[in-house]
């Protein structure tokens, strides 16, 4: 943007009355947002999102568009950051955003006050937001709030250091709180899963007994890898306990009245389906997926009315493996979201995985015309896999190498991943 025009626009925004409605006032420029926050002594709420993020679809429709959110954030500066854009990718790395969506709350002087991650009901989101900006709280509340923030930021080592440094009497008081015990078990679980810390399985076992909220689905989703090297008997016991705990959760908070459901419908169903598969309960897995599809279809009978539910239906149809229904539904999705690269890309990826590489290339070409930034690298990756499947391996390697080299500075992680795939293909 022209520097003079930007400066004038920023000046006009700074002169807006402080009680102006926040409707449609989401900014997209980081510097502009923090300048306004500093000048008007406001918090900044930053929404890190991506166009392919199904949880972001939920939050946009079920939380961010609601009057409750507007009222709660009327004194905030609102900022959206697309992590598939070059600037957004850099901000994502700088602020250690590892889950989408992530809502970063900054003070008026740009310090991080806290963060909220993933799908949340409006009630839960607003409660967490209120807790983050709360000025008066006990030492126990501060410790719980700090640990929750560390977990949301995946700052596990920092959390371990802070807990080790707590005063003995404070630690004893905290240990009397179930909420604290759940959070510390979650820390132990994630430190084991992500950092290789020992003892993770014991934390998972306790969470299966104590955690009854929607977060249990994430606990087992991330913790299940800890079972890979366990003896068969231990694995069978943990899977049995996980099945029982997840079935209770799913029946109580997933197949329930809309106002009582977990915000993230997908992860809990997917995780329980995986447990069924690992235990050889194929009939239960099929029945669960069929029930999930039926629930979604009842909630949103018209494609295009609710993108989160549309994408969940796509996901579960793929998981169930019904090729005819998947193809038919992709046609509806592509028609409902014609300006979006996501569904031509996902369909192309599905076709490659189904052994239909030639057809995949035509949909990949359509996705390539609509993609931008980091998501174009994902599109290139699928194209290369289709080419390799058709015997065009050398061409696929060149495509990956060129894409990786061209985007190395803007999207280093995504480019590095393409380079690895190129090397693997060239060695075959």
Segment 6-28, tens digit of pLDDT: 333 333 333 333 333 344 689 99
Of the candidates 183, 178, 192, the residue with the CA atom closest to the CA atom of residue 222? 192
Task: Pick the last residue of a domain from 272, 306, 338.
Answer: 338
Residues 328 and 228 in one domain: yes
107 in a domain, yes or no? yes
111 in a domain, yes or no? yes
381 in a domain, yes or no? yes
Task: Pick the last residue of a domain from 287, 311, 338.
Answer: 338
Is 398 a residue whose pLDDT tops 60?
Answer: yes
What are 116's strand-pairing partners? 103
Mean per-residue pLDDT, 1-7: 36
pTM tops 0.85: yes
Is 280 a residue whose pLDDT tops 80?
Answer: yes
Mean per-residue pLDDT, 156-167: 97
190 in a domain, yes or no? no
Mean pLDDT, the chain, integer: 92
Give 182's Cβ-side CA count (13 Å radius): 17
- pLDDT tens-digit readout, 96-115: 999 999 999 999 999 999 99
Q: What is the pLDDT of residue 86?
A: 97
267 in a domain, yes or no? yes
Q: What is the pLDDT of residue 299?
A: 86
Number of domains in the chain: 3
Q: What is the pLDDT of residue 14?
A: 34
Residues 255 and 298 in one domain: yes
Mean per-residue pLDDT, 40-50: 98
Residues 131 and 30 in one domain: yes
Mean per-residue pLDDT, 368-392: 97
Residues 33 and 130 in one domain: yes
Task: Pick the last residue of a domain from 136, 156, 184.
Answer: 136
Residues 325 and 350 in one domain: no
- pLDDT tens-digit readout, 257-269: 988 999 999 999 9
Residues 106 and 76 in one domain: yes
CB contact set of 12 (below 8 Å; sequence gap of 6+): none
Residues 367 and 415 in one domain: yes
Q: CA angle 244-100-113, nearest 5°?
A: 105
CB contact set of 241 (below 8 Å; sequence gap of 6+): 205, 208, 209
Q: What is the pLDDT of residue 136?
A: 66
Q: Which domain holds residue 419?
A: 341-428
CATH number at residue 349: 1.25.40.10
Distance CA 99, CA 153 (A): 8
Q: Give whole-number Cα distances, 218 to 182, 193, 242, 427, in Å.
A: 13, 12, 12, 37
Residues 323 and 378 in one domain: no
Residues 75 and 63 in one domain: yes
248 in a domain, yes or no? yes
CB-neighbour burial class of residue 130 (10 A; exposed 0-12, middle 13-18, buried 19+): exposed
Mean per-residue pLDDT, 329-335: 97
CATH number at residue 91: 3.40.30.10
% of residues, the chain, pLDDT over 90 = 90
Residues 311 and 350 in one domain: no
Q: What is the pLDDT of residue 301?
A: 77
- pLDDT tens-digit readout, 212-245: 999 999 999 999 999 998 999 999 999 999 999 9
189 in a domain, yes or no? no
Mean per-residue pLDDT, 328-352: 97
Mean per-residue pLDDT, 183-191: 98
Residues 362 and 313 in one domain: no
% of residues, the chain, pLDDT over 70 = 94
Q: 267 near 221, Cβ under 8 Å?
A: yes
Is 296 a residue whose pLDDT tops 60?
Answer: yes
Mean per-residue pLDDT, 182-211: 97
Q: 217 near 267, Cβ under 8 Å?
A: yes
417 in a domain, yes or no? yes
Residues 47 and 36 in one domain: yes
């Amino acid at each position: 943007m022209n520097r003079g025009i930007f400066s004038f626009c920023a000046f006009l925004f700074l002169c807006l009355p402080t009680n102006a409605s926040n409707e449609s006032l989401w900014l997209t420029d980081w510097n502009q947002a923090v300048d306004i926050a500093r000048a008007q002594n406001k918090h900044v709420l930053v929404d890190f999102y991506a166009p392919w993020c199904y949880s972001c679809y939920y939050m946009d429709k079920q939380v961010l568009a609601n009057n409750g959110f507007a009222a709660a954030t009327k004194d905030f500066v609102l900022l959206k950051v697309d992590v598939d854009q070059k600037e957004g990718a850099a901000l994502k790395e700088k602020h250690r955003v590892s889950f989408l969506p992530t809502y970063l709350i900054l003070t008026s002087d740009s310090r991080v006050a806290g963060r909220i991650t993933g799908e949340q009901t409006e009630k839960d989101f607003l409660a967490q937001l209120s807790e983050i900006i709360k000025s008066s709280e006990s030492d126990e509340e501060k410790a719980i709030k700090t640990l929750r923030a560390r977990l949301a930021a995946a700052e596990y080592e920092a959390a371990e250091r802070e807990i080790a440094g707590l005063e003995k009497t404070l630690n004893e008081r905290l240990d009397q709180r179930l909420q604290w015990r759940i959070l510390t078990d979650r820390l132990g679980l994630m430190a084991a899963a992500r950092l290789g810390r020992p003892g993770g399985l014991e934390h998972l076992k306790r969470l299966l007994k104590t955690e009854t909220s929607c977060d249990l689905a994430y606990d087992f989703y991330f913790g299940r890898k800890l079972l890979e090297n366990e003896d068969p008997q231990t694995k069978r016991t943990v899977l049995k306990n996980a099945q029982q705990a997840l079935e209770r959760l799913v029946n109580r908070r997933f197949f329930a009245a809309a106002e009582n459901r977990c915000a993230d419908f997908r992860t809990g169903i997917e995780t329980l389906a995986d447990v069924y598969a690992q235990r050889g309960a194929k009939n239960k897995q099929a029945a669960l997926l069929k029930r999930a599809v039926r629930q979604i279809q009842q909630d949103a009978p018209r494609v295009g009315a609710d993108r989160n539910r549309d994408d969940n239906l796509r996901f579960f149809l793929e998981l169930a493996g019904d090729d005819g229904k998947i193809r038919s539904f992709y046609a509806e999705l592509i028609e409902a979201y014609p300006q979006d690269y996501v569904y031509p890309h996902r369909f192309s990826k599905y076709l490659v995985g189904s052994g239909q590489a030639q057809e995949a290339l035509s949909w990949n070409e359509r996705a390539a015309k609509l993609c931008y930034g980091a998501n174009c690298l994902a599109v290139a990756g699928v194209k290369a896999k289709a080419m390799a499947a058709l015997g065009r391996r050398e061409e696929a390697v060149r495509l990956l190498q060129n894409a990786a080299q061209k985007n190395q500075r803007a999207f280093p992680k995504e480019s590095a991943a393409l380079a690895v795939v190129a090397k693997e293909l060239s060695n075959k």
